[in-house]
Structure 1
Amino acid sequence: MITSPSIIESRSNASTIRSDPDTESKVRSSIRAINETIQSNANEPSLAFYRIQEHVRRTLPTMVQKRMELENLHERMNGLIFDVEYSVDAVKSLGTSDEHFNNIATYLEKSVYISKQMNLLKQQLIQQQFLEKQGEP
């Protein structure tokens, strides 16, 4: 057994400290705070995962709906892009069909000229018939 005066003093001081109610309440309060801190730190990862799970449960249906809308819009956009590209190709091909349009314009001019000639001939025929009817008494 060690009988050093400092150890005896510390034991006697410890017994006096323990008997002091103010110090005892402070020690218990400190121990309680340390226990709560340790418990909180031990549960922190579980709490974090729980919060993440809550967040996923709340936001996942909305995110899935938005993704489906985005996919539908993507399909529509692809269709519209195809239509625009097809239209651009059609307009570009119009540039190479000048000869066809010139032929159409020429034939239209000829038909208008022939139509006028036919109308003129009809009018002359009608006038001629009218004059013949007037000369027949």
Structure 2
Amino acid sequence: MISSSSLMESRLNSSPNRFDPDIEAKVRSSLRSINETIQSNANEPSLAFYRIQEHVRRSLPTMIQKRIELENLHDRMNGLIFDIEYSVDAVKSLVTCDEHLNNIATNLEKSIYISKQINLIKQQQIQQQILEKKHGS
């Protein structure tokens, strides 16, 4: 394989007319720059795809792990949101239960009063039985 620089030198050396060395240096420099640019442009897509592949290979496992974590958090958040909505509904329903709770409290107070009355009546009966035994004996 013949490189472009050796081809350029052979053409410059084989030409019958000798150019000015300054111009020859400028031509060689220009040709070298053009050659480097062409090689760079020819390799640019391959290099770009290589860099993309390298980036994906490095970052993909982390991205997959983060996606799994995000899905788990999303599921957990949906569960918590459901719990909160259920709790809010329960608290809202307590407002409508006010009348029922008042009835329960009133019935408890009545039950306590009746229980005390029953205990008082039982004590009176016991005392009356004791007195009857004392007087009857």
**Structure 2: which amino acid aligns with 1:136?**
G
Tell me, in whole angstroms, the C-alpha distance in 1 between the residues paired with 2:82 and 2:125: 59
Q: TM-score, normalised by structure 2?
A: 0.73
2:122 and 2:107 mapped to 1: Cα distance?
Answer: 22
Q: Identical aligned pairs, as a percentage?
A: 74
Which is greater in Rg?
1
- Tell me the matched-pair count: 121
Matching of residues 15-54 of structure 1 within 5 Å: 17=21, 30=29, 31-32=31-32, 34-54=34-54
**Cα deviation, residue 133, structure 1:** 2.5
In structure 1, distance between residues paired with 2:103 and 2:88: 24
Query: What letter matches 1:98 in structure 2?
Result: D
Runs of 4+ in 1 over 4 A off after TM superposition: 26-29, 31-34
Matches within 5 A, 1:49-64: 49-64=49-64
Question: With CA pairs under 8 Å and 6+ residues apart, which has the higher RCO, 1 or 2?
Answer: 2
- Output the CA distance in 2 between the equivalents of 1:80 and 1:64: 24
Partner of 2:112: 112
1:16-61 Cα distance to aligned partner (Å, 9 max, x none): 74xxxxx98x679735555334312321221111011111111112
Following TM superposition, by how much is the alpha carbon of 1:76 offset from its aligned partner in structure 2, in angstroms? 1.7
The code of the aligned residue for 1:111 comes to S
